[in-house]
Amino acid sequence: MGGDNAPGAVIEGVAAAVKDFDDITLVLTGKKEVIEAELAKHSVDLKRVEIVDCREVIEMTDKAVDSIKKKKDASMVRGFELVRDGDCDVFLTAGHSGALVAGATLIVRRIKGVSRPAFCPVLPTRTGSVLLLDSGANVDCKPFYLAQWGVIGSVYMRCVMDVKNPRVGLINNGSEPGKGNAQTMEAFQLMAQEKHINFKGNVEGREILSGDYDVVVADGFVGNVALKLIEGMAKTMTGMLKDELTKGFFTKIGALMAKPGFKRFKARLDYSELGGALLLGVNGGVIKVHGSADAKTFRSGIRQARKFIISGVVENIKNDIQSITE
C-alpha cells in the first residue's frame, strides 16, 4: 500500500514477476478487497499469490517509530512480521523510509554483531556496478559503523553480484590516507586492518562511478547527498544532451543515426532496472524502492529479492561480521 502509485503499480509488477519467475510465491499485505480488485485486472496465477488483509496504512506524514509501534495492523508492520517469523524471506516496499528503518530494526532486528543496518543502492558504472552504503539510514555515525559496512557490502557484492574480491573504498575529500575528518581518518585505519575487506583507500566524489571500486562506504548524510547528486546529474545530463541534439537540422539527423546508442545509454542510467536499495544488516531481506516506483521497478525489485534469497546473503554476513564486532 506504500508509494505514489500504489497499489496499481505494485500489482502490475507482481503480475510481471509471477510470469517471469516460476519459483517464487508473493505475499501482498494490505486491504484485501483493494488488492483483489487490482489483481482482477491482470492475468495472474493466484496459486502463487497470497493476501494478508491489513486495515491500516502508514502514511508519509506519520512519525516513523510511532507509526510502527501504534499501527499494529499496518501493511508495513505485517510485512516485517512475516519476515521475522520466517514466513517470508524478503519484504519489499515503496513506503515511508523512516518507518522502514524503524520497523526493520525493531521487528526484524539486526544481525547479531551488526551495530547499524545501512541502505545500499546499486549504481551503474562504466564497467559494471558499485554498491553505495550507507545512503541515508544513519546520519550520525561512528567510524566503527563504516568499517562494518565495508564487510557487509563486500558480502553482498560477492554473493549477489558475483564479484570475487570486491574492491572497497571510503568516500572522502581526498585520496591520500591522511585526508578527511576525525571520523573518516579513524574509519580508514579500521578498514585497512580488516581481513574481510579488500580495502583500496579513500575515494573522491568524482571516482565513485569510475568502475575502480565495487563498494563505496560513507556515513548516511554524505552517502545520501552523493546518491541524490548522482541521480540529479544523470537526469540533468540526459536532458541537456537531448536539448542540444534537437536544436538544428543536422544535429537532429545525427541524433537519429545515433538513436540505438542513446537508448542503450539511457537504459544504463535507468534505476527502474536495478530495483531498490537493500537495508543490509538486518536478520532478513528488506528492500526499499523509490516512492515514485512504477511496475517495472517493482518487477526489478522482486527479481533482486529472489537473487538475494538464493545467494544466502544473511548467513554470509553472519559469518564475516564476527571478525569486526564492537
Write out pLDDT tens, residues 112-155.
999 999 999 999 888 889 999 999 888 899 999 999 999 999 99
Sign of dihedral through CA atoms 72, 298, 16, 22? negative
Q: Does domain 121-272 have CATH number 3.40.718.10?
A: yes
Average pLDDT value over all residues in the chain = 90
Q: pTM surpassing 0.85? A: yes
Residue 325 has pLDDT above 70, yes or no: no
Return the minimum-mean-pLDDT range out of 72-76, 183-187, 269-273, 289-293.
Answer: 269-273
| Residues written for the chain | 326
Residue 175 corresponds to which cell in the numbers above?
A: 585520496
Q: Is 203 in contact with 173 (CB distance < 8 Å)?
A: no
Torsion of CA 274, 155, 145, 171, to 10 degrees: -60
- Tell me the mean pLDDT in the region 274-289: 90
* Per-domain boundaries in the chain: 121-272
Query: In this predicted structure, what is the pLDDT of residue 56?
Result: 94
Phi-psi category of residue 128: left, alpha or beta, with phi > 0 → left and psi -120 to 50 → alpha: left
In one-letter notation, the amino acid at residue 253 is I
Query: In this predicted structure, what is the pLDDT of residue 184?
Result: 94
Separation between Cα atoms, residue 302 and residue 289, nearest integer Å? 10
Separation between Cα atoms, residue 111 and residue 240, nearest integer Å? 44
Phi-psi category of residue 124: left, alpha or beta, with phi > 0 → left and psi -120 to 50 → alpha: beta
In one-letter notation, the amino acid at residue 19 is K
Instruction: Kindly state the helix (H) or strand (E) to which residue 216 belongs, with its residue range.
Output: strand 215-217
- Tell me the mean pLDDT in the region 233-261: 81
Query: In this predicted structure, what is the pLDDT of residue 244?
Result: 81
Q: Could you give the residue ranges of the DSSP H alpha helices within the chain?
A: 8-20, 32-39, 64-70, 75-84, 97-103, 143-159, 182-193, 220-245, 249-257, 259-268, 295-311, 313-321
How far from the centroid of its chain's Cα atoms is residue 98's Cα?
A: 14
Separation between Cα atoms, residue 268 and residue 272, nearest integer Å? 10
Write out pLDDT tens, residues 195-211.
889 999 999 999 999 99
Q: Could you tell me the pLDDT band of residue 324, with boundaries at 50, 70 and 90?
A: low
Q: Is 113 in contact with 78 (CB distance < 8 Å)?
A: no
Give the residue from 223, 156, 145 showing the smallest Cα distance to 190. 145
Separation between Cα atoms, residue 263 and residue 157, nearest integer Å? 27
DSSP secondary structure, 38-91, as one string: HHTTS---GGGEEEEE--B---TTS-HHHHHHH-TTBHHHHHHHHHHTTS-SEE
Sign of dihedral through CA atoms 100, 105, 111, 116? positive
Residue 97 corresponds to which cell in the numbers above?
A: 523510509
